[in-house]
Amino acid sequence: MDYTKALDTLKVRFQEKHDKQNRDHKALQTTLNDLADALKAVEFIRANPQGGDHALNVGRAAARLQVLAEAAEAAITTKATSAGASFESSLREHSGLVNGPYAVEIRQRLQGMAPGEKVKVVQAMIESRDGSSLAAIIDAPSMLTGLSSEDIGKFREQYFQTAAPDIVKARDTYRDLNEHVQAAVKTSLTAASEYSDPVKLRALELHEAEAAKAKAALGGE
């Protein structure tokens, strides 16, 4: 696998989607760039053997890459959790998804309805952006509404998309960019593992040498 190419592809895709003025996006981009630079440093050492033990030199660089990737993974995971909570708070505030004074009565009424009728009532709440009534259903356990947790999740997302589309878009963009960096972390850790193992490194370099010979032979025909 061409690890450097994989990270370069992630960088291009990230650039296409991120907001240059967004602080969280810039932090993710910095992490992605740092991983790409560290990986390129390992690849440079691997491709340019110096004096001493080549495998040891590559292994040391790979170890630095691993430390960086592990730290990045921990940091972006923690940030994703806090960002998720922040988006959730903003979505609830801007969409008016707050329990009103008749939450108990609404759930009791819903319990007595047929499944199809329940869906119609909830859809009407969503379309009219009746956040207080909807919160009585969405925030309650399934056993109190007769709706499955899957249905509640779908209604919740549909309401947010209806009542606060800009925040939903911002949340989804952040999630997408975070996934790009998570993929870069995974790629970096895989590369670090392969390059820090002398046996794997030797096998890889032999394979690449054979591939280069085969390519040269084909080019000469």
Same domain, yes or no: 112 and 158: yes
Query: Model confidence over 124-146: pLDDT tens digits?
Result: 999 999 999 999 999 999 999 99
Query: Model confidence over 143-164: pLDDT tens digits?
Result: 999 999 999 999 999 999 999 9
End-to-end CA, the chain: 27
Domain that holds residue 136: 103-164
Same domain, yes or no: 208 and 131: no
pLDDT category of residue 220 using cuts at 50, 70 and 90: low
Same domain, yes or no: 201 and 154: no
Same domain, yes or no: 127 and 182: no
Same domain, yes or no: 123 and 216: no
Kindly report the average pLDDT of the chain as a whole number. Answer: 91
pLDDT category of residue 59 using cuts at 50, 70 and 90: confident
Domain finish residue from 164, 181, 205: 164
Same domain, yes or no: 79 and 121: no
Q: Residue 101: pLDDT above 80? A: yes
Q: What is the pTM of this model?
A: 0.84
Q: Residue 221: pLDDT above 60? A: no
Nearest in space to 140 (alpha carbons), one of 118, 107, 116, 115: 107
Same domain, yes or no: 48 and 87: yes
Q: Residue 36: pLDDT above 90? A: yes
Q: Give the total number of structural domains in the chain.
A: 2
Same domain, yes or no: 139 and 90: no
Count the neighbouring beta carbons within 10 Å of the beta carbon of residue 35: 24
Same domain, yes or no: 114 and 12: no
Q: What gap in Å lies between CA 210 and CA 203, rounded to an integer?
A: 11
Same domain, yes or no: 84 and 183: yes
Mean pLDDT of 165-175: 98
Same domain, yes or no: 82 and 177: yes
Same domain, yes or no: 14 and 52: yes
Question: Measured between alpha carbons, how far is residue 192 from residues 23, 38, 72, 203 in Å?
Answer: 29, 10, 14, 15
Helix 165-196 to helix 198-220 angle (10° resolution) is: 90
- The upper half-sphere exposure of residue 12, i.e. CA atoms within 13 Å in the direction of its Cβ, equals 6
- % pLDDT > 90, the chain: 76
Between 207 and 159, the more confident residue is: 159
Q: Residue 218: pLDDT above 80? A: no
